[in-house]
Amino acid sequence: MMFKDDKQRFDEEKRENSPENYQLLHESNEQETVPEDEEPVLAARRLHPAGMLFSFIKIVKDSIFGIGIGTVAFFRQSPTSALLFIGGLAVLLIVLSILSWSRFTYRVEAGELRIEQGILIRKKRYISLNRIHKMDISANLIHRLIHLVKVQVDTASSGDSAEMELSAVRTKHAYELRKVLKNKTVKTPAPSETDVNEKEAAVPHSIRKITWGRLFIAGTTSGSIGVILLALLFLYSQAGQFIPENIFNDTVMWIIQLSVVFIVGLSVLVLVLIWFAGVLGTMIKYGNFSIEKRANELFVERGLWEAKELTIPFDRVQAIQIDQSILRQPFGFVQISAIIAGGSFDSKEPFPVLFPLMKKKEVPAFLEEFVPGYEHIFQEVTPLAKKGLKYYMVKSMLFFVLALFPVLYFFPQFSWVPILFIVLSGLIGWFIFKEAGYALFEKQIIFQRRGLWNKKTMMTFHRRVQTTEKSRHKLQQIEALASIEISLIGSSGVGTHFRLQHVQDEAANQIGDWFSYRKRQQKQAEWQE
Amino acid sequence: MREEPKHLIAVNAIRAWRISAIIYMIILWLLIIGLAVLTYLFDFLLLYISIAAIIGVIFTFFFVYAIPKLRYRRWRYEIFEQEVYIQHGILIMTRTIIPMIRVQHVETEQGPILKKYRLATVMISTAATTHQIPALTDEDASDLRDRISTLARVDEDDV
């Protein structure tokens, strides 16, 4: 990681020092008609004292496991030593958080955002304002109570979600910082400032919000129902270990004695509660969702309690993906997300959602308005050749077929269970095969495939594709089949890979030719003749 | 992706791979000999040591003799003005296209065994993937590296 950063920094320096680039920089400076007032400066500041609290919480959260084990270990010796341990630890952590807060400062100086921190090892991190790609402001419940915000500053490099985080900043100060950064940050594909301003004036900012009705549907079909049911099942199966046996048995007996009507009523109630939890979860996550199109970027805002913001510059959008979960597909609802280079809302969601729920037929218009170029995402895809079907079936069913034999041998009376699963998995395999496909345009490509739950349709541009890889194993070679994979930049350094398995060899070659810069040039040359 | 890339890698790659395979096999055989000694001292069943020996022979044959040869035959590469084209893989044959304008950086690497045969490995990284061409002659490798790095221009717009 270190190495990569160094390397990038080195490249950066090299580029800045090279004569062509000097000229480039120079030119762009001249073009800027907006008067560049003197170097933006922001005096050194500490975080709001609440920052101490946040760093304390963070340390405790990160080391809760160790603390727990330590406490238990001490408790075994004697309760007093456990108390001492916790007390000592608390004092130590409090001192640490106070010290680290007092050592943490940020300022803007000489065209750089400078952050200094560290108690024993002092770390200084200077980021050139030119390299800062975006700055995000968010606020959770605690932040809101004391009128603070969290600031995250991102550069284009490495893709570690947020490069710098200021955990507690007064709202006023955050906007001051934003103003200073805005003046200097990169306006990518480097159009001159006037251009941007004109465009900004010409293009009315379109905004799309989600209705509560739609959110309600999104929550109902969110699939959390399944997850929660599984969790409950797991809890039930584990319950015997934690609850004393007689109580457990008594409860079970009690339930069995109750009338069927009551049991049905109870399970309906449980289901309703689960469904309600799903809806609530979705509302909290996506409440107040809005997406706004600005001149150079998309601006997404969401969250009922914790308002989160995300700015996505257009040139960082690598691909658009449409997800149709098994629960939503029959009703024609989809979710739209973007594959982007660089950070997203959080690490659990590497590819930010551009719209949580939408009717399939509304999608093209939405895409045309917000991310033009992707509006043909529902182009009919070329399905796979029939001969690929068996691979999908085998892959899907293999586990259960193998499981059948031991079950037949040891528990013949239960053999219907694996047989049921074999049939089900066969159906799933058939569906996965049926829905896989690709489509090629002059400049774009569409890959469509089904995971277990989601049908995913991905569309990207030729210039976003990093590499293409075709692979064949022996059987595929004999049958003229192949697997094709295209790689895009992902949010983490490893890239995002899309693979379509068991397509016809000819189709894989066609995709390869579509990607090949050499073949493209040849074709162009032929056209010109 | 129809026709295979033109160039084979250096023939000495087979030898270099064999040497590194032999080193691993020596470790395996030391373990087997250890087992043999234990069998002799403590009267273990002869079955185990014979199975171990058979596995050892099979492994040695494959990793030292067969696989390097097959691997060499499959490894191919070709450098065009606009892209690098690589093929590799014994059981699963993979062909990759890496456009020059997508290349972020190129490295060459040379371990002690490769050095003995004056060979080097070239590693080509894009923003999403890393690919390598193993065992090119020193000159070819540095030539290739220079060529790729002059041809490769990172397109700032597209990151």
**Which three-class secondary structure string do you get for A72-104?**
HHHHHHCHHHHHHHHHHHHHHHHHHHHHHHHHC
The burial class, CB within 10 Å (0-12 / 13-18 / 19+), for A319 is buried
Among the partner residues B96, B156, B158, nearest to A467 by beta-carbon distance: B96
Chain position carrying tokens 């690919």: B131
Average pLDDT over chain B, rounded to an integer: 86
DSSP A209-226: E--HHHHHHHHHTSSHHH
Please, are residues A447 and A458 in contact by the beta-carbon 8 Å criterion? yes
Q: Helices marked H in chain B — which ranges?
A: 12-42, 46-60, 67-74, 112-116, 138-151
Contact between A497 and B128 using a beta-carbon 8 Å cutoff: yes
Q: What average pLDDT does range A467-494 have in this prediction?
A: 88
Report helix, strand or coil for A230: helix
Q: Is A468 touching B (CB cutoff 8 A)?
A: yes
A-B CB pairs within 8 A amount to: 91
Q: How far apart are CA A50 and CA A168, in angstroms?
A: 6
Q: Report the range of poorest mean pLDDT among A248-262, A338-352, B65-79.
A: A248-262
Which residues of chain A lie closer than 8 angstroms to B101, CB-CB? Answer: 517
Q: Which of residues 87-106 of B touch A (CB under 8 A)?
A: 89, 91-102, 105
Q: How far apart are CA A351 and CA A354, in angstroms?
A: 9
Spatial neighbors of A463 by CB under 8 A, at least 6 apart, are A443, B155, B158
Contact between A521 and B82 using a beta-carbon 8 Å cutoff: yes
Q: How far apart are CA A191 and CA A384, in angstroms?
A: 43
Residue A27: what pLDDT?
38
Q: Report the range of poorest mean pLDDT among A62-76, A270-284, A433-447, B83-97.
A: A62-76
Spatial neighbors of A254 by CB under 8 A, at least 6 apart, are none
Test mutation, B1, B84, B107, chain A, max A CBs within 10 A = B1
Partnered with residue B100 across adjacent β-strands are: none
Residue A196: what pLDDT?
42
Q: What average pLDDT does range A300-321 have in this prediction?
A: 87
Which contacts (CB < 8 Å, 24+ apart) does range A519-523 have? A521/B82
Q: How far apart are CA A487 and CA A497, in angstroms?
A: 4
Which of A358, A85, A84, A354 has the alpha carbon at shortest distance from A218? Answer: A358
Nearest CA-CA distance, residue B129 and chain A, Å: 7
Q: Is A515 touching B (CB cutoff 8 A)?
A: yes
Exposure pattern of A132-160 as b/e (b: 16+ CB <10 Å)? Answer: bbbbbbbbbeebeeeebbbbbbbbbbebb
The burial class, CB within 10 Å (0-12 / 13-18 / 19+), for B3 is exposed
For the cut 70, the answer to whether the pLDDT of residue A16 exceeds it is no
Nearest CA-CA distance, residue A506 and chain B, Å: 8
Which residues of chain A lie closer than 8 angstroms to B96, CB-CB? Answer: 467-470
The burial class, CB within 10 Å (0-12 / 13-18 / 19+), for A3 is exposed
For the cut 80, the answer to whether the pLDDT of residue A175 exceeds it is yes
Q: What average pLDDT does range B117-128 have in this prediction?
A: 86
For the cut 50, the answer to whether the pLDDT of residue A275 exceeds it is yes
| pLDDT > 70: percent of chain A | 79
Q: Which residue has the higher pLDDT, B59 or A154?
A: B59
Q: How many Cα neighbours within 13 Å face the side chain of A186?
A: 21
Please, are residues A470 and A484 in contact by the beta-carbon 8 Å criterion? yes
Among the partner residues A471, A496, A518, nearest to B93 by beta-carbon distance: A471
Chain position carrying tokens 């950063």: A5
φ and ψ at residue A501, rounded to 5 degrees? -100, 150
Residue B79: what pLDDT?
87
Complex confidence, ipTM: 0.83
Contact between A497 and B155 using a beta-carbon 8 Å cutoff: no
Which residues of chain B lie closer than 8 angstroms to A316, CB-CB? Answer: 159
Test mutation, A16, A465, A467, A477, chain B, max B CBs within 10 A = A467
Residue A3: what pLDDT?
42
Q: Is B3 touching A (CB cutoff 8 A)?
A: no
Contact between B126 and A467 using a beta-carbon 8 Å cutoff: yes
φ and ψ at residue A35, rounded to 5 degrees? -60, 120
Which residues of chain B lie closer than 8 angstroms to A488, CB-CB? Answer: 128
Please, are residues A412 and A379 in contact by the beta-carbon 8 Å criterion? no
Contact between B97 and A464 using a beta-carbon 8 Å cutoff: no
Residue A194: what pLDDT?
40
pLDDT-based confidence at A523, cuts 50/70/90?
confident
The DSSP secondary-structure symbol of A444 reads E
